[in-house]
Structure 1
């Protein structure tokens, strides 16, 4: 199975090179944002008002923003 995966990755990278496109890197799921203290504070207040952690609240806001029509 490992060998099949390695072949699939090599094929994908070769296809990207042939097509002249940059291969996509998988996202880790970790995101560090640098925002002004005022925005950070307002986000904390909004999360608390929604009864959520800042992480839960920000995830929902980002999810809404990236949805088609969002």
Structure 2
């Protein structure tokens, strides 16, 4: 998926051939904020404006702009991967949950 980034927000990007426009929405928020443009430049400007408007709305309403997450996540693995994770976690002396958390944290750090 193509995305735009601005002020810590991510916007999804898609193209409607029949309408001849790029469009998207701000991801990771409680609510729906859309934007569109006929060119990449217009789309980017519309995304920035949508984020600014959303931030102003949140400020006026006294709400947290980013979506809150519980910290609980259900991950589906193949039985083989699950078995290998369990064995590696046991060898390391940590729980499966701690092993997966560490792996995700390392992946995030590598991508930043």
Is the shorter-chain TM-score for this pair beyond 0.5, marking a shared fold? yes
Aligned residue for 2:107, secondary structure, equals helix
Greater RCO structure (CA 8 Å; 6+ sep): 2
Confirm or deny that 1:20 pairs with 2:50.
yes
Q: CA deviation at 1:26?
A: 1.4
Unaligned runs of 5+ in 2: 1-29, 35-48, 55-64
**Structure 1 alignment gaps of length 5 or more:** 1-12
Q: Distance in 2 between matches of 1:69 and 1:37?
A: 27
Measure how far apart 1:24 and its partner are.
Answer: 2.8
Query: What is the TM-score when the length of structure 2 is the normalising length?
Result: 0.42
Find the partner of 1:37 among 64, 79, 92.
79
TM-aligned CA deviation for residue 50 of structure 1? 0.4
Distance 1:33 1:69, change over 3 A: closer
Greater per-residue helix proportion: 1
RMSD of aligned alpha carbons:
3.0
Residue in 2 that maps onto 1:57: 99
Q: Report how many residues are paired.
A: 56
